[in-house]
A and B are shown apart, each in its own frame.
Chain A
Amino acid sequence: MPQPRTDSEGGALRIEIAEGQDVVQVRQRAREKAQAAGFTLTEVTKIVTAASELARNTLEHGGGGWAEVGVVATGVRRGVRMVFHDEGPGIADVDQALRDGFTTGGGLGLGLGGSRRLLSELTIDSVPGRGTTIVAVRWK
């Protein structure tokens, strides 16, 4: 399987997530990259919304971290790839965390499960006590 490459317009800059305003920055970056990849308005909106949910998780549950958003292409496919990383407490039960309504915070528990519905791929790599890395892709 060919490795995704980050093309020129997709230079994935790292955005530090330390406060609420940084979540807005991640949303704006996701919008730019999704538009650059040629997604329709509805698709852009879905990508931006998922970016917002995942960035908020990094902040609220991970205690802060960083995000990278870039355009990817494999063969004829193009998409947007987003990585979210934190060194927080980690997710004890990933399957449970993906279930709608499950929350350890004060939210609705729609963040992870909802984001997975809005995107093509969502991979969660979490080690309790060490942190969480989420790789999310939406293909065209």
Chain B
Amino acid sequence: MERIPILRMGDTLLVTVQVDMHDQLAVRLLDDLTEMITKARARGVLIDISALDMVDSFIGRMIGDVAATSRILDATTVVCGIQPAVAITLVELGMSLAGVRTALDVEKGMELLRAAAQD
């Protein structure tokens, strides 16, 4: 079954989305991440979507769901690498990803997660 790999680095989970996701794949990622957060007792989730050249309302909702679910499980989610054209399109579509923490790249995202862990 097609899956997006989730890497574990200490108490942080790292996901790099590199394929054009169909809806089922996005749903599976949300399920897998939720399970991994609990299993690995993760405190942070970093999702790198710099390779995604499109985020529509379905993928946007999935991202919001990951952020909300992880928060309930006491983990922080940061989404990084959103392309400028994708950001413009998301806003025009009517999705501002409210409640989702974002960073420009993986490095800044890791910094954000470290800062969140110290709070």
Query: Could you tell me if B54 and A42 are in contact, using CB atoms closer than 8 angstroms?
Result: no
- Number of contacts between A and B (CB, 8 Å)? 73
Q: Is B39 interfacial (CB 8 A cutoff)?
A: no
Our pick among A23, A52, A113 for the contact of B94 (Cβ within 8 Å) is A113
State whether A114 and B94 are in contact (beta carbons under 8 Å apart), knowing that A41-B85, A42-B85, A42-B89 are contacts in the complex.
yes
B92 contacts A117, C-beta separation under 8 Å: yes
Contacting pair B53 A110 (CB below 8 A): no
* Known A-B contacts A23-B22, A28-B20; A117 and B56 likewise in contact (beta carbons under 8 Å): no
Name the distance in Å between A16's Cβ and chain B's nearest Cβ.
15
B57 at the interface (CB under 8 A from A): yes
Interface residue total, chain B, C-beta cutoff 8 A? 24
> In whole angstroms, how far apart are the Cα atoms of A100 and B24 in the complex?
24
Does chain B have a CB within 8 A of A49?
A: yes
Query: Do A45 and B61 form a contact, CB below 8 Å, given A24-B20, A108-B95?
Result: no
Do B61 and A49 touch (CB < 8 A)?
no
Query: Is A118 in contact with B92, judged by CB distance below 8 angstroms?
Result: yes
- Within 1-32 of A, Cβ neighbours of B (below 8 Å) are at 20-21, 23-24, 27-28, 31
Q: List 11 A-B contacts (CB under 8 A).
A: A20-B23, A23-B23, A28-B20, A45-B83, A46-B85, A49-B54, A52-B56, A56-B23, A108-B57, A110-B93, A114-B57
